[in-house]
Amino acid sequence: MNESLHQFLRENQIHEVECVIADMTGVARGKILPKALFMAEDSMKMSKAVLTITVNGEFADFERFVGPSDPDMVCVPDPNTIRWAPWAIEPVAVVIHDCQDFDGRPVGLSPRAVLRKVLKLYESRGWRPVVAPEMEFYLIAQNSNPHEPLRPPPGRNGRTEVGRQSFSIDAVNDFDPFFQELSAFSESMNLGVETLIHEVGAGQMEINFTHGDPLDLADRVFLFKRAVRETAYRHKIFATFMAKPMEHEPGSAMHIHQNIVRSDDGQNVFSNADGSASKLFFSHIAGMQKYLPQAMPLFAPYVNSYRRLSRHTAAPINVRWGYDNRTCGIRIPNSSPAARRLENRVPGVDTNPYLAMAATLACGYLGMVEGLEPSEPLAGSAYNLDYELPRSLEEAIEALSTCEALHEVLGVEFVQAFCAVKQTELETFQRGITAWEREHLQLTV
């Protein structure tokens, strides 16, 4: 067992350890071990089929991807990820694990392994990606009936927000107790949360993270989503990371800012020595334009995700790019040459952070190594242009399943298993009968 893990457990008088991995949906799976047992072992074993669980708890063709005997995998703790779980009643630690086969090789189905694979491709070129995610989410009133529409919770004044209070300080302050505790939890977990704002929707908030290593940021987003939910429970409200939780409110995104630096000297490869934009910068944009539509299930993984990606909902519908243009799927923020970057505005906040990071970097990487050239930048509104992204999960699964370039970068086995998980979820959804169908078809057709 790593000494830094032992030291953390001793110094924080930890009683139990939550040993977690992220499955393909981004759900935390794992085991809770007493401290003594965790310290006595250097790993834990768990069924590899766990990685193929759908968001509604089914196993997606696991015999095909892990074998009919339902074998174990070895889950090894990453010492860099251990943190205190501040919402727990007694001292509990949480540590993220890497999934390995018994010969020590990474399990290709593991989202964390997929991201590591993409980062190694960059490393082999002498490049190091830097990312910074922005996460939108809604605070909602507690609701135990899934058939009822969601609504914002009452604030400290006892009233429910009905209008849109974009960037309102008072609207954020209505939930001061929640945000103060969330801030304390985030600080104690070293999550690197930087900025809080009220977004456009009623009860919609946005949190920004400090920039850094993609694997570390994916870990932090993975843990942050749980911290938000746990904090909400303590304040008798819910928090949701659905991409489109309310019919008449805008959806929630996870925008990803990204640039690439040289591994040896940290210089931004998106800028030339004279401060102008480099060829690699434009090729990275072009790779996003070419491959974002093919990678859509990784950015929009559920049926609900595509309700956000529709015209005039403050979400992108195509892969146009522009300077400081928020209507585009790819935005180039104003910045110095040293900080030149692009912002991928396509991913929903419902995505698995490991897979969103892996996919956005994979698209840019392919553009760079293929030497692609982008379209001309757009100065006007991209909302009025044609759709260039898949309009449904079914269409998106088909696009990813046939994209050989992404198969090679992300792993053929992973892509096949991920598409199987999404297909299983889609088939489950299609069996249900919606309120719209009952309302408009029951006595009419």
CA dihedral 361, 364, 368, 370 (to 10 degrees): 110
For residue 177, pLDDT over 80 is answered with yes
Q: Which two tokens stand for residue 164?
A: 């849109």
Contact 204, 136 (CB under 8 A): yes
Convert the pLDDT of each residue in 347-380 to its tens digit.
999 999 999 999 999 999 999 999 999 999 999 9
For residue 159, pLDDT over 80 is answered with no
* Rounded mean pLDDT, 245-263: 95
What pLDDT sits at residue 270? 98
Convert the pLDDT of each residue in 186-230 to its tens digit.
999 999 998 888 888 888 989 999 999 999 999 999 999 999 999
What pLDDT sits at residue 1? 62
For residue 19, pLDDT over 80 is answered with yes
pLDDT averaged over every residue in the chain: 94
Measured between alpha carbons, how far is 73 from 104 in angstroms, rounded to an integer?
Answer: 10
pLDDT band of 313, cuts 50, 70, 90: confident
Fold classified for 119-410: Creatine Kinase; Chain A, domain 2 (3.30.590)
**Distances in whole angstroms, Cα of residue 313 to Cα of each of 129, 244, 297, 307, 310:** 30, 10, 19, 9, 6
Of 416, 335, 395, nearest to 64 by C-alpha is 416
Least confident of 331-335, 362-366, 425-429, 432-436: 432-436
User: So where are the chain's domains?
Assistant: 3-105, 119-410
Contact 314, 199 (CB under 8 A): no
Coil, helix or strand at residue 442: coil
* Rounded mean pLDDT, 287-308: 98
Fold classified for 3-105: Ubiquitin-like (UB roll) (3.10.20)
